[in-house]
Amino acid sequence: MALHRDQYGIIGQIQPGGWVEGGDSACWMGAYIYLTGDKFPYVKTFEKGFGGYVRHTDPKNTYNGFGAYYKNPWNGCMSRDQLTGVLGALIRQKERAAMLRLFLQHSLRLFLFDYKTIQNGSDPATAKWKFPGLTAFDFWATALRGFGAFSWLFWPLLVVLDLHTLINTVFTNLEKDDDQINYTMKYLVSREFVPTPTSWLASKILNKEKLMRHLTSYWGGWRDNGDMIPLYRAMLEKY
């Protein structure tokens, strides 16, 4: 097994020639921090501007500098999936002020969109603008759990928002695609922080053995970061 890190200690994807590409680093580091409680300076590294994040801090560590692109709250490279990893890191590291900044920045997009406005791997200088992706109820539920004891004020709302995770659990049980790391993050946060009857029901119907097979395939396959696998197993056994 392995866990590939670049010259900054950031987890990424090993490439031919031995360099580590960081197009998914914000998400992957967020997952690692959530699962381990690691003290890596996540906010200092990945936040660029007020509540805005990049996939990697160094343009040279992503193809065409794509992953380090951030212009403003409406123009950047961060998808909903990448931002899910960000939420996990902020929640685990109790970065309440950073969570508030992210929350306020999201409000500038009416809590409806991410800010991935260029295609993966494209050159920000020449890339055509693309319509950003939608965020949704499960993303809102995860973010609202990032404010410590104050998050309990949102408990009645979370009962409703967690219906999205419950429905996604049904589809995840049937899913053949092994890319389930963002579902897993949202599910684990919903069980560990301000749990609701809805998230409890999701835990009862979730096929954890199948989910672990997906996670094992995702991290242990061509991505070759297999040291993540036992971290997920230990957390899923708790929740």
pLDDT digits (tens, 9 = 90+) for 21-50: 999 999 999 999 999 999 999 999 999 999
**Own/partner long-range contacts of 43-46 (Cβ < 8 Å, ≥24 apart):** 43/89, 43/90, 43/93, 43/95, 43/98, 45/8, 45/10, 46/86
- 83-124 pLDDT, tens digit per residue, is 999 999 999 999 999 999 999 999 999 999 999 999 999 999
The DSSP code for 239 is -
Residue 83 buriedness (CB in 10 A; 0-12 / 13-18 / 19+): buried
Region 175-194 average pLDDT: 98
Cα-to-chain-centroid distance, residue 148: 19
This prediction has a pTM of 0.96
Query: Domain extents for the chain?
Result: 1-135, 137-239
What CA–CA distance (Å, rounded) separates 48 from 163? Answer: 33
Strand partners, 47: 53
Q: Answer yes or no: are the C-beta atoms of 12 and 25 closer than 8 Å.
A: yes
The confidence band for 17, taking pLDDT boundaries of 50, 70 and 90, is confident
Reply yes or no on whether the pLDDT at 176 is more than 70.
yes
